[in-house]
Amino acid sequence: MEPRRWSPLCGCLKKETKKKKKRNKHSSSKQKQQQQQQQQQQKQQQQRQQQQQQHQQHQQQQQHHQQQHHQQQQQRHQQHQQQQQHHQQQHHQQQQQHHQQQQHHHQQQQYQQYQQQNDQQQQQQQQQQQQQQQQQQQQYLADLGFPCCRWLRSCLWRLLLPHTLPLSTLLNFYQ
């Protein structure tokens, strides 16, 4: 504060007070300007904050959309993998069934071949037995001294078996 200047003249005092009023007016206008500047700064800050919030919301929405899209892609990929696995399992099972059917068919063929071989062996054995019997019969008739005619042998054999005739009568009959 400046010291008051006392003078005998009243006019000087009045001039001093007028100067002080002018100074007060000047300081009040400065305060108003500062208040306005502060308000403008606050408004700008609010606008910036709003812009930042909007930007953040937009980013969050984008991230959420990207996450959803990524999850959908993962789900599709998993479904596709599961379908492929299921298809591969079905194909593998079909191959196994086909292989088992082939094995069963092969076993049936082997069993049929075994049966055929068995049948053939039995037929051969029967033929061999029949041939041995015929050879024994022929040898028996040859030992008796009859000619080696099959028809004659068969007839004699038929005659010899059912009738127990003496050998001399038969020999006399065929002489």
Q: How far is residue 115's CA from residue 120's CA, in Å, rounded to a whole number?
A: 8
Q: Is residue 33 part of a domain?
A: no
Structure-model confidence comparison of residues 158 and 116, the more confident one: 116
Please report the pLDDT score of residue 170 as a whole number.
Answer: 58
Global confidence as pTM = 0.33
Q: Is residue 153 part of a domain?
A: yes
Q: Is residue 155 part of a domain?
A: yes
Q: Is residue 102 part of a domain?
A: no
Average pLDDT over residues 74-91: 91
Q: Is residue 67 part of a domain?
A: no
CA distances from 116 to 31, 104, 108, 110, 171 (A): 125, 18, 12, 10, 48
| Domain count of the fold of the chain | 1
Query: Could you tell me the residue range of the domain that residue 151 belongs to?
Result: 130-159
Least confident of 43-57, 102-116, 147-161: 147-161
Asked whether residue 152 carries a pLDDT value surpassing 80, the answer given is no
Q: Is residue 22 part of a domain?
A: no
Contacts (Cβ under 8 Å, ≥6 apart) of 12? 5
Q: How far is residue 127's CA from residue 119's CA, in Å, rounded to a whole number?
A: 12
Asked whether residue 41 carries a pLDDT value surpassing 70, the answer given is yes
Please report the pLDDT score of residue 163 as a whole number.
Answer: 55
Q: Is residue 47 part of a domain?
A: no
Q: Is residue 149 part of a domain?
A: yes
CA distances from 155 to 134, 138, 159, 162, 166 (A): 13, 12, 6, 11, 16
